[in-house]
A = this chain, B = another copy of it.
Amino acid sequence: MTQTRELHGLLDTEAIRKDFPVLDRLVHDDRRLVYLDNAATSQTPRQVLDTITEYYERHNANVHRGVHVLAEEATALYEGARDKVASFINAPSRDEVIFTKNASESLNLVANMLGWADEPYRVDSDTEIVITEMEHHSNIVPWQLLAQRTGAKLKWFGLTDDGRLDLSDIDKVITEKTKIVSFVLVSNILGTHNPVEEIVRRAQEVGALVMIDASQAAPHMPLDVQALQADFVAFTGHKMLGPTGIGVLWGRQELLEDLPPFLGGGEMIETVSMNSSTYAPAPHKFEAGTPPIAEAVGLGAAVDYLTAIGMDNVFAHERALTAYAVERLLQVPDLRLIGPTTAEERGAAISFTLGDIHPHDVGQVLDEQGIAVRVGHHCARPVCLRYGIPATTRASFYLYSTPAEVDALVDGLEHVRNFFG
């Protein structure tokens, strides 16, 4: 079975794939790799690898404070990466871009800041925290910890049967006691693209802060933090063609000024004596210790790569591919999509179950054919509980994914069904 009709808006994947060495890999002896695990991590183009190598071979030094050439070059490259990220997300100021180690740290950072903050931000036993049932564990556990430690109450939006947020009781969930509402822009398990405006409007009404987990959005669509009107936005480098070990927290400047630091150490201070210390202005206040320098520089190169292709084009490509994949998958007997069954308001991650064949078995038999998907709860176990399933199989696409890979997946699933049939 191969693709029968033309898809519109696809990128020139033949050219793009040349930039990604790993996509040429053969697995299990002679199978061509079909990499459909992009929601877990994306592959890394040569341009990013070359930038990182060049950093180490020519400019490597610790940043800030150095008066020698290498230190100045390294600092310029590191801070240059901040400029790139700032413009990629349309941040009003570069100083609002904080480099962390991953999205999880970004989310924990905010949760911790709010625990130690003064009024009006302070989360304590009189206050409430709101999340949703479709969050990644990295946007659940930090708030559970904060709730346990402060006595605050953790509340959440439930899900509708078709994998969307149930906002019907929004006024009861977000109340005058709510200090922070944190939710995912695009779900990594359901693929759902959530409505921001309604939530932000209600949060602003009650004076709550809004944090958006854009880990699955930043890689795949134009992201404009000003348009979102959130207070904090988190995402992670390794899902957007960048290296591991780098994440981003964007936060509104006034908040970054007002809120207390999280980790203490070198780089984040203004002046230190044994008795007390004062802190540097943001972003440095939140970047304790030697930052992930090469990783930030690599992320800058990834942002350049994405920008050259154009995030609108990336989005259009994935949308066409996702529509095609949804359509084809729905034709597979016994396949049940977990999440929205149309390509509207969804990202390029598609979860499903296949009869009562356990996802581990689905994944393993696909792997034997060279097809890499992820199986399990995808760090979003409450979603599995909600839909009464132990796990799902998830295929997720990116700018180098092709209709032929969708076909390979569908054929692979046929094989799985026969194998366990």
Contact = CB atoms under 8 A, between A and B. Distances in A.
The binding surface of chain A is classed by DSSP as: mixed
A61 B44 contact: no
Interface of A: 21-22, 25, 27-28, 33, 35, 37, 40-41, 43-44, 49, 52-53, 56-62, 65-71, 101-105, 107-108, 111, 116, 133, 136-142, 144-145, 149, 154, 156, 236, 238, 243-247, 261, 263-269, 271-274, 276-277, 288-295, 360, 363-364, 366-367, 371-376, 379, 381-382, 385
B69 A385 contact: no
B71 A37 contact: yes
A67 B367 contact: yes
Contact of A104 (B28, B67, B236, B263): B263
A37 B67 CA distance: 11
Contacts of A265: 104, 107-108, 136-139, 141-142, 379
Contacts of A267: 379
28 contacts: A21-B56, A22-B58, A37-B66, A41-B290, A44-B60, A66-B372, A67-B363, A67-B367, A67-B375, A68-B367, A71-B374, A104-B264, A104-B265, A104-B266, A104-B288, A136-B265, A138-B288, A140-B277, A141-B264, A144-B264, A144-B277, A145-B261, A238-B290, A243-B245, A243-B295, A244-B291, A245-B293, A266-B379
B69 A28 contact: yes
Contacts of A382: 272-274
Given A40-B62, A236-B290, A290-B41, A156 B274 contact: yes
A186 B33 CA distance: 48
B290 A104 contact: yes
B261 A22 contact: no
A372 B277 contact: no
A22 B371 CA distance: 40
Nearest to A70: B372
Nearest to A269: B137
Given A41-B290, A149-B116, A379-B266, A363 B238 contact: no
Contacts of A53: 49, 53
A294 B243 contact: yes
- Considering residues A56, A59, A71, A288, which has the most beta carbons from chain B within 10 angstroms of its beta carbon? A56
Contacts of A156: 274
A63 to B, nearest CB: 9
Nearest to A135: B274
Contacts of A43: 56, 60
Given A21-B56, A40-B62, A101-B245, 16 more contacts: A22-B58, A22-B70, A33-B70, A37-B71, A49-B57, A62-B374, A67-B364, A67-B375, A69-B367, A138-B266, A140-B264, A141-B265, A144-B276, A244-B245, A245-B293, A265-B379
